[in-house]
């Protein structure tokens, strides 16, 4: 039996009925990881042995008293910028290369409460800054569909691990597309919840007003199951919203889109989009129409300003968020130092990679006296306009569908020397973070080269249920998931 091929809900069913034990599950994944991980390189830290010990303890407990919880015995991979107590959390950075948090992120505490098993911590672009996972201090991850291609980023390790069946599901984080873009690159499902839906406590901050944790899964049902566990208000995160959490799996009852109005923003099909991607997304829109959705043309006029706005706000916040890595209390401290100033400079010189340094410099500049109004102040004003664009569009429609990225996954090394080209791969995902709304990425086809193409479905704030309903109906009607990567 190939347990590693199952989705989370399929595996749950087998475990709940007692058909498989936790030990068997972890054993299957250990074998799988040993087989494909040398090629995919999804993990920074593997946690198989501890997971096995936990699994055995769990099986023992269940012998005496069999009652399961939703994630009991489910082996998950966690992006390595989410703090896990007593387990190395590096953010793919040399500066946190030795950092073992003495606390769990709130989402981890929630998963733990449901009996999940931590299989390992996945690779990312350093501090989640990047779109290819090439900015990792520990080397890039590979796209399971074609190992010479990137898995996308920054949650490339999590997306690759799910696509390569190295875990049953994963958590990622999304600041400008970092869940949705790698999910599209790897042909899996990635959900970025509404800003404030999931606690950020314990997520190592990149850009605090944009960061959001979300699931990366094999199908839409799994995304709903994981969101059920991690969503909700957290007193430790003042920006988490005190909004009722529905049972997201109830959104998966209907297999049609009757009475749903679906907007197609014309700005998202402008120049720069790969014809293969455009065709796949257009066909997906036709499918949504066949399912009963009413397709409407909408406009998001400020789309063109999104990338510039994002790179001012995100870098400004990052420049401040990353100030704490100073060599004083934890993480790297340079051995080359004569005095305090040199300790700061050498530590940060040696500890941060080039993209992180570039963004710290950009953000520091944007906040500097004399430039604040022109950059940070202006960007905040534009951000308000972008949010209003979405509000206006959502007056007319219930969901918005777009491509996830203008192309399919690109080759390793193809864009690393040209940061602006790299930034453009997030052009369709960034506005969603600036507006704070929820969005999902799910497979809608393949290029001739055999690389997955993603469809993005965006919803109103705190209407993840509607987003999931749309995604589920499409997934059930198409089932692109049947095709699996061969990992060669």
Active site members: 79, 154, 178
Among 38, 64, 65, 102, binds other proteins (CB under 8 A): 102
Nearer to other proteins, 62 or 430 (CB): 430
Nearer to other proteins, 323 or 449 (CB): 323
184 CB-near residues (< 8 Å, 6+ apart): 152, 190, 404, 405, 441, 443, 452, 453, 454, 456
Choice from 323, 374, 392, 449 touching other proteins (CB under 8 A): 323
Query: Which one of 209, 299, 447, 476 is in contact with other proteins (CB under 8 A)?
Result: 209
The reply to whether 173 sits near other proteins by the rule CB under 8 A is no
Site for other proteins in 370-409 (CB under 8 A): 372, 376
Binding track, positions 221-240, relative to other proteins; x by CB under 8 A: --------------xxxxx-
How far is the first Cα of the chain from the last one, in angstroms, to the nearest whole number?
A: 22
- 340 versus 392: smaller Cβ distance to other proteins: 340
What sign does the CA torsion over 7, 8, 13, 19 have? positive
Distance, CA of 53 to CA of 22 (rounded, Å): 10
Nearer to other proteins, 367 or 477 (CB): 367
CB closer to other proteins out of 51 and 96: 96
- Under the binding rule (CB under 8 A), the answer on residue 369 touching other proteins is yes
Instruction: Give the torsion sign (CA, 98, 100, 106, 110).
Output: positive
117 or 203: CB nearest other proteins: 203
> Judged by CB under 8 A, which of 103, 109, 112, 147 binds other proteins?
103
Interacting positions 27-56 with other proteins (CB under 8 A): none
Whether 82 and 173 have beta carbons less than 8 Å apart is answered as yes
Phi, psi of 230 (to 5 degrees): -95, -15
* Pattern 79-98, other proteins, x by CB under 8 A: --xxx-----x-x----x--
Strands 261-265 and 294-298, how do they pair? Answer: parallel
Q: Tell me if 367 contacts other proteins by CB under 8 A.
A: yes
Instruction: Tell the smallest beta-carbon distance from residue 367 to other proteins (Å).
Output: 4
| Structure-token match 């005190």, residue found | 242
Does position 330 interact with other proteins (CB under 8 A)? The reply is yes
Task: Decide: is 202 part of the binding site for other proteins (CB under 8 A).
Answer: yes
Identify residues 239-298 at the interface with other proteins (CB under 8 A): 239
Distances (CA, A) of 387 to 300, 416, 425, 433, 436: 10, 31, 21, 10, 8
Q: Which two tokens stand for residue 320?
A: 């401040």
In whole angstroms, give the CA distance from residue 216 to residue 305: 28
Establish if 317 lies at the interface with other proteins (CB under 8 A). yes
CA distance 332 to 352: 10
User: Of 304 and 377, which has the nearer Cβ to other proteins?
Assistant: 377
311 binds other proteins (CB under 8 A): no
320 belongs to the binding site for other proteins (CB under 8 A): yes
Query: Is the Cα torsion angle 455, 456, 459, 464 positive or negative in sign?
Result: positive
Ranges of H-type helices in 164-274:
180-186, 220-230
From 51, 161, 205, 285, residue interacting with other proteins (rule: CB under 8 A): 205
> And the tokens for 455?
């469809």
Task: Pick between residue 45 and residue 364 the one whose CB is nearest to other proteins.
Answer: 364
332 binds other proteins (CB under 8 A): no
3-state secondary structure (DSSP) of residue 227: helix
Least distance to other proteins, CB of residue 328, Å? 5
When computed from its CA atoms, the radius of gyration of the chain, rounded to whole angstroms, is 21
Rule CB under 8 A: say whether 204 interacts with other proteins: yes
The nearest distance, CB 259 to other proteins, in angstroms, is 35
Instruction: Choose, by CB under 8 A, the member of 70, 73, 101, 470 that binds other proteins.
Output: 101
Neighbour order of strands in the sheet with 75-79: 43-46, 117-122, 75-79, 169-174, 212-217, 189-192, 439-446, 452-459, 399-403, 261-265, 294-298
Q: How many residues bind other proteins (CB under 8 A)?
A: 44
Interacting residue ranges for other proteins, rule: CB under 8 A: 81-83, 89, 91, 96, 99, 101-103, 105, 200-205, 207-209, 235-239, 316-317, 319-320, 322-324, 326, 328-330, 340, 344, 364, 367-369, 372, 376
């Amino acid at each position: 039996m190939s347990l590693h091929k199952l989705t989370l809900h399929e595996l749950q069913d087998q475990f709940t009925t007692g058909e498989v034990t936790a030990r068997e599950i972890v054993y299957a994944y250990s074998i799988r990881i040993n087989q494909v991980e040398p090629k995919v390189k999804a993990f920074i830290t593997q946690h198989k042995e501890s997971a096995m010990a936990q699994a055995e303890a769990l099986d023992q407990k269940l012998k005496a008293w069999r009652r399961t919880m939703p994630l009991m015995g489910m082996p998950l991979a966690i992006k390595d910028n989410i703090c896990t107590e007593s387990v190395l959390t590096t953010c793919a950075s040399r500066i946190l290369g030795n950092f073992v948090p003495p606390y769990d992120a709130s989402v981890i505490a929630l998963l733990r409460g449901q009996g999940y098993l931590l299989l390992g911590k996945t690779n990312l672009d350093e501090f989640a800054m990047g779109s290819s996972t090439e900015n990792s201090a520990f080397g890039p991850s590979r796209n399971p569909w074609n190992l010479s291609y990137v898995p996308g980023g920054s949650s490339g390790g999590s997306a690759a691990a799910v696509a390569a069946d190295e875990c049953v599901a994963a958590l990622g984080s999304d600041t400008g597309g970092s869940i949705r873009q790698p999910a599209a690159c790897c042909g899996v499902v990635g959900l970025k919840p509404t800003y404030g839906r999931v606690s950020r406590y314990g997520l190592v901050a990149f850009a605090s007003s944009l960061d959001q944790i979300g699931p990366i899964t094999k199908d839409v049902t799994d995304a709903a199951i994981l969101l059920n566990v991690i969503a909700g208000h957290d007193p430790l995160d003042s920006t988490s919203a005190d909004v009722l959490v529905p049972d997201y799996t109830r959104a998966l009852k209907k297999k049609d889109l009757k009475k749903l109005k679906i907007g197609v923003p014309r700005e998202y099909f402008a120049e720069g989009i790969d014809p293969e991607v455009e065709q796949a997304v257009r066909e997906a829109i036709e499918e949504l129409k066949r399912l009963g959705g009413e397709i409407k043309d909408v406009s998001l006029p400020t789309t063109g300003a999104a990338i510039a706005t994002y790179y001012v706000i995100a870098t400004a916040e990052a420049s401040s968020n990353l100030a704490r890595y100073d060599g004083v209390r934890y993480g790297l401290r340079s051995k080359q130092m004569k005095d305090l100033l040199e300790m700061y400079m050498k530590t940060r010189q040696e500890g941060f990679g080039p993209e992180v340094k570039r963004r710290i410099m950009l953000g520091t500049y944007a906040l500097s006296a004399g430039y604040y109004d022109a950059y940070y102040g202006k960007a905040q004003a534009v951000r308000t306009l972008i949010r209003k664009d979405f509000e206006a569009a959502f007056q007319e429609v219930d969901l918005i569908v777009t491509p996830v990225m203008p192309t399919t996954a690109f080759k390793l090394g193809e864009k690393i020397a040209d940061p602006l080209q790299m930034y453009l791969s997030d052009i369709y995902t960034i506005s969603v973070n600036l507006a704070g709304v929820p969005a999902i990425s799910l497979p809608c086809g393949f290029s001739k080269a055999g690389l997955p193409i993603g469809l993005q479905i965006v919803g109103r704030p705190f209407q993840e249920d509607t987003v999931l309903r749309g995604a589920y109906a499409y997934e059930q009607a198409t089932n692109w998931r049947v095709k699996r990567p061969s990992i060669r």
